[in-house]
Structure 1
Amino acid sequence: MTRSETVHGRLGAGLAGLALSVGLADASAQAPPAPAVPLYQESKDWILACDNTRFCEAKGFSDAESAVMRISRGAGPTGTLTVEIDVPDTAESPDVTAFRLDGRRLDLKTISWSPDDATGQGQATLVTADNDSAYRLLRRIRDGRVLSLGDTRSAPAVPLHGLAKVLKVMDDVQSRSGNETALTQPGHGGVAALAAAPAAPALRGAPPPPALPAAEARALAAGVRQAMRGSDALAACDARAPTDVAVALTGHDALVMVECARASYQSSYVIFRVPRGEPAAAQVLTLALPPGLEAGAAPAAGATLQLANATSDRMQAAPVALAPTASADPTGRMTEPTYNPRTATLASVSKGRGLADCGIRAEWRFDGQAFMPSAYRQQIRCGGGAPGDWPTLWRTR
């Protein structure tokens, strides 16, 4: 997208150009630094998540409305802007010729859409076909209250309360304010003035170890539970008929996941790293969360992460326990952990409720010596997507 600029007044073209350059330089020097990432915020009916590469995703939905809008954008000059609209298959199909903004017909003849697509997860999706279409759509609707996807009373709708704010924060995170690519405060700066998106950290996983025979795995898991019985690590555990798991980590060590507490749809475990054949030498596995997402991090990172109980539609004041974040903490637990030796990836999934429309997924990659944070996704507010469809806050390659 290109903006032309014209300098008016009595000053000559050269002097005016100099004045403009000085003004832009001063504005740039006074511009506040971009917000720190990872960032997670909520604003009325919208949530915004920006990861460590400054890729941002905003989602708008509410319990009262039947559609979800997702806005995603990469940072830097080549960052693509995309708007998606999801509706349940049971809802009335969107009619792009009859969209209404706050009850008034919305002319979208200049908006191009990709061919109708099905996500395969019980929803139909409308996707803008190009950057310009996404720009035009957002600038038309950003200050509205509700976008109806048809002109009937039963037409699906997207709530827009909070949209303008999250678009402004998205611009700030990607340093677009004052640039022609900004969604809320565009200026004269060209796309070439944008800094490239930060690269995701590169991680290399350890090669797959020799498999742990089933009989050895059962014996090792039982041995660790027996050896650790009464220890601080298992002191508060109350799982009945527990399901413990042992899996090979290296040719000499294994991971043993000891079930500690069981809820209606997920369980928590204490994970030990243990030498094969020496269950009494088991040590609680301690894991670090990605930078900016550690316990006690700034509110932009989600601050107190919470899960809902099984019956609530909203997140309740129950702390999320993913893993201990310091070696001195023996009580940290992980929810529904799994380890894939082929990819050297340890994952934990904490569902906010049984529908899995909110929660946290964290992943670590084993490099042969230690586990490094490799991925993190979270959605604190329930609703607005398929199970596990949570925005990304940390990514690696």
Structure 2
Amino acid sequence: MLRGFALAGGWVLLPALAAAASPEPKTFRDWMAGCDNLKSCTALSLPPESADAVAYLRLERPAGPDGAANLVLRLRGDWKKPPAALQLKLDGAPFPAGGKPLPAAADGDMVSLSFQPAEIATLIEAARKATKLAISAPGVTATISLSGSVAAMLWIDEQQGRLNTTSALVRKGNGISVPAAPPLPIVTAKPAAGTLSEKDGKALAASLRKQIKQRDADLCEDDEMLVAADEAWALDGERRLVGLACSRGAYNVSTGFWMVERGDVTAAKPVALPEGEGDAKNMLTNADFDPKTGRLSFFAKGRGLGDCGATGGYAWTGTAFVQTELSMMGECRGIGPDDWITLYRSEVK
């Protein structure tokens, strides 16, 4: 069971609480776009669901007057020797003009091609009329739809205050004033400093599980594998973070987090998390806490392949768990988490 997620018509419905707390990525036909808390924006083309070779474009642009657009083409295939160059065509016409193959770099089964600024400008201008970008290399062909790309970039211009300015991606003008990027949040993480043996941690988790059962009999399942995954950590001399594994499915485990002070489980409080699930916002999917760094992370998969869903993290500051990052991908199209749309970021010290 994956709390908050459902597959319907190819869409992954993002966790309701997460979507409410952070601006949800927007879809423009075959493209998706979103911006983070720094107004840094990303646009992604969506590969066809049945594509043999997954290919997509990823455009990212920081906010502010000096924010330059970066455009990368990704191509994933099942090949013995990845191609060193890619041949591109826009609606059948060679791109760039002259038809020279563009060099690409391989990393495992993924090949990446980074466009130069002049090529980015040319491709954006061509996208006003062109419908698809075709990619070919020895043993592989793929197509990227440009339908919705202009609308996605126009939306990014609007979010960053670039409409009718010289730096706009789409709707250019004579304006030169562009808002500065908001400041980057700085979070000071505090490692867990207390001591708690594994035996005492298991005993505390077992006591809390019994207490939670009395509060809400249906909140946490009593599956043996779930109970075995329960953990507890000493955050300091008095406070304990306890994680109870409450439900599981084929590729997701939902864990609830509570704060216990002085060992009193009757007064245990749910740890409210900005993107948490459940009524108390203390549930995370595929969560992991590192006591050495004070970092708590999650990776909610929309399906087993892990090419859609949500991933993010928090840091213990000594008083609370503060959000540090969040990325989402609402379509299961073979796009890995590293290329998902970032909705929140910070600097963690």
What pairs up with 1:206-245 in 2 under 5 angstroms?
Answer: 206-232=190-216, 234-241=217-224, 242=226, 243-245=229-231
Inter-partner Cα distance in structure 2 for 1:164 and 1:331: 37
Inter-partner Cα distance in structure 1 for 2:68 and 2:243: 41
Match 1:264 to one of 223, 226, 250: 250
Aligned equivalent of 1:344: 294
Aligned equivalent of 2:182: 198
Task: Provide the TM-score with structure 1 as the length reference.
Answer: 0.73
Alignment CA distance shift 1:279-1:194 (3 Å): same
Inter-partner Cα distance in structure 1 for 2:338 and 2:118: 30
Contact 2:124 2:170 survives alignment (8 Å): no
Alignment CA distance shift 1:147-1:110 (3 Å): closer
Alignment CA distance shift 1:201-1:330 (3 Å): closer
Aligned equivalent of 1:174: 160
Higher strand share: 2
What secondary structure sits across from 1:150 in the alignment?
strand
Q: Deviations over 1:40-78 (max 9, x none)?
A: 201111110111111111110222443111111111122
Inter-partner Cα distance in structure 2 for 1:136 and 1:331: 46
What secondary structure sits across from 2:293 in the alignment?
coil
Inter-partner Cα distance in structure 2 for 1:196 and 1:364: 26
Contact 1:94 1:156 survives alignment (8 Å): no
Aligned equivalent of 1:137: 123
Q: CA shift at 1:127, angstroms?
A: 0.7
1:43 aligns to 2:28 (yes or no): yes
RMSD (Å) for aligned C-alpha atoms: 2.7
Contact 1:111 1:136 survives alignment (8 Å): no
Letter in 2 for 1:116: A
Q: CA shift at 1:353, angstroms?
A: 0.5
Inter-partner Cα distance in structure 2 for 1:343 and 1:225: 26
Inter-partner Cα distance in structure 2 for 1:109 and 1:82: 23
State, as a whole percentage, how many aligned pairs show the same letter: 28
Q: Deviations over 1:278-307 (max 9, x none)?
A: 333322222234xxxxxxxxxxxxxxxxxx
Aligned equivalent of 1:355: 305
Q: CA shift at 1:137, angstroms?
A: 2.4
What secondary structure sits across from 1:67 in the alignment?
strand
What pairs up with 1:35-114 in 2 under 5 angstroms?
Answer: 38=23, 40-61=25-46, 62-65=48-51, 66-90=54-78, 93=83, 96=86, 98-108=87-97
Contact 1:101 1:147 survives alignment (8 Å): yes
Inter-partner Cα distance in structure 1 for 2:128 and 2:291: 46
- Count of aligned residue pairs for this structure pair: 318
Letter in 1 for 2:301: K
Inter-partner Cα distance in structure 2 for 1:185 and 1:204: 40
Contact 2:55 2:73 survives alignment (8 Å): yes
Aligned equivalent of 2:240: 254
Q: CA shift at 1:266, angstroms?
A: 0.9
Alignment CA distance shift 1:187-1:94 (3 Å): farther
Contact 1:54 1:197 survives alignment (8 Å): yes
Contact 1:38 1:52 survives alignment (8 Å): no
Inter-partner Cα distance in structure 2 for 1:343 and 1:108: 51
Alignment CA distance shift 1:153-1:228 (3 Å): closer
Aligned equivalent of 2:3: none
1:335 aligns to 2:285 (yes or no): yes
Q: Greater relative contact order: 1 or 2 (C-alpha under 8 angstroms, separation 6 or more)?
A: 2
Inter-partner Cα distance in structure 2 for 1:111 and 1:162: 27
Inter-partner Cα distance in structure 1 for 2:190 and 2:83: 48
Inter-partner Cα distance in structure 2 for 1:335 and 1:388: 18
What pairs up with 1:291-370 in 2 under 5 angstroms?
Answer: 322-324=276-278, 329-330=279-280, 333-370=283-320
Contact 1:336 1:349 survives alignment (8 Å): yes
Letter in 1 for 2:311: R
Contact 1:100 1:151 survives alignment (8 Å): no
Letter in 1 for 2:284: M
Aligned equivalent of 1:297: none
What secondary structure sits across from 1:125 in the alignment?
strand
Contact 1:260 1:270 survives alignment (8 Å): yes
What pairs up with 1:11-26 in 2 under 5 angstroms?
Answer: none
Task: Provide the TM-score with structure 2 as the length reference.
Answer: 0.82
Q: Deviations over 1:244-265 (max 9, x none)?
A: 1112222211111111111111
Structure of larger gyration radius = 1
Letter in 1 for 2:74: D
Q: CA shift at 1:363, angstroms?
A: 1.9
**Runs of 5+ unmatched residues, structure 1:** 1-36, 290-321
Aligned equivalent of 1:124: 111
Inter-partner Cα distance in structure 2 for 1:249 and 1:111: 59
Alignment CA distance shift 1:153-1:331 (3 Å): closer
